[in-house]
Amino acid sequence: MKRKLISFDWAIKRILRSKANFEILEGFLSELLKEDIKILEILESESNKDTKDDKSNQVDIKVKNSNDEIVIIEIQYSRELDYIQRMLYATSKVVIEHISQGYAYSKIKKVISINILYFDFGDGDDYIYKGTTNFEGIHTHNKLYLNEIQKDLYKTNEINKIYPEYYLIKVKNFDDNSKDTLDEWINFLKNETISDNPKAKGLLKAKETLDYLNMPDDEKIDYERRQENLRREASVYESTYIAGGIEEKLKIAQCLIEQKVSNDIIKLSTGLTDMELANLTNRSDCENSPK
C-alpha cells in the first residue's frame, strides 16, 4: 500500500537541508547527473534564504562530483510565466555570490541549474531537457575547443563544462511509467508516491523520512495550508495566463485571418499551433458561409 508522502518542494525547504537527510538529495542528484554526488554543504545566500512567509523557492548546494571537483548546484521550483529569464537571473546571481572579490575568473565554480517545473513550459513533449553552452563557427560550423593551456587551467577539455548547465524537469509530461531509476524520482516529484522497493538512490530513505503520517500535527497544518495555496495559485495562473492568454491569441489570429495574412506569419505572431489555427480557420469559414 502506498503511503502519502510530503511533496519534494516542501521537503527541500524543511527537511532535506538537514545533514542527516543529505542521502535523499544526493540520491536525486546522482540519478539525474549520472554520477555519484556528495553534498558538502547547503549554501546560505540572499537568493535562497528560507523566509517566514515561505516564499523561498530555491536552494543552492555545494557538492563534490565523482571527479572530486567542487560544483554548485542550484535547485529551483516555481510556477512563473517568465521562468526562462528567472533561470538566467538566478544562475548569474549564484556565480557572482560564490566567488570572492579579487579572485581570478578561473576560480568561478561550475554551476548546475536544476529546475523542477510544475507548469507548462515551452513547446516540447519530453519531460527532461538539458541545456549547455557551446560555440560554433559562423562560416565553418566547427565547434570551438579549449587550447592546451586552457585545458590545464580549467581541468577540462570542453567549454560547456565551464559554463552553467541547465536541467528542466517538466513534471506534467511524465507518463507515470518508470522505465529506469531516474524515472522513479520523476514519479515521486509528480505523484508524491514511492514504490515499496525503490531501486533509485535515495528513494528508500525518502520513503522513510517524508511520510506524511509521521509529521507533527502543527507541521501537517502548515503543509496542508501551503498545498492549498499552491492549488489556488495554479488556478489563478491557469485562468489568467493560459485561458485568458489563449483567448487573446485567438482574437488576434482571427483579425489576421480576416486580413488574409499567411498562416506562417499568424503562427509566428500568436504562438498558436497548427491545430489551433486550423480549427480557427475552419470555424471562420463556417461563419462566413452563405446561409
Last residue of a domain, one of 189, 214, 239: 214
Q: What's the total number of domains in the chain? A: 2
Last residue of a domain, one of 191, 214, 237: 214
Residue 274 in domain: yes
Domain that holds residue 264: 217-285
Whole-number pLDDT of residue 211: 83
SS (H, E, C) 144-173: CCCCHHHHHHHCCCCHHHCCCEEEEEEHHH
**pLDDT tens-digit profile of 19-47?**
889 999 999 999 999 999 999 999 865 44
Residue 272 in domain: yes
Whole-number pLDDT of residue 52: 41
Locate 184 and state its grid cell. 522513479
Place 108 in a pLDDT band, splitting at 50, 70 and 90.
confident
CA–CA distance, 282 with 190 (Å, rounded to integer): 37
Last residue of a domain, one of 163, 194, 214: 214
Sheet with 70-78, side-by-side order of all strands: 38-43, 58-64, 70-78, 110-117, 165-170, 128-131
Q: Are residues 266 and 157 in the same domain?
A: no
Q: Are residues 248 and 169 in the same domain?
A: no
Q: Which residues contact 34 (CB under 8 A, 6 or more apart)?
A: none
- DSSP alpha helix (H) spans, 35-147: 83-97
Q: Are residues 191 and 279 in the same domain?
A: no
Q: Are residues 232 and 177 in the same domain?
A: no
**pLDDT tens-digit profile of 235-274?**
555 554 455 556 777 778 888 888 777 787 787 767 777 7
**pLDDT tens-digit profile of 155-211?**
888 899 999 999 999 999 999 999 999 999 999 999 988 988 899 999 999 998 888
Phi, psi for 74 (deg, rounded to 5): -110, 125
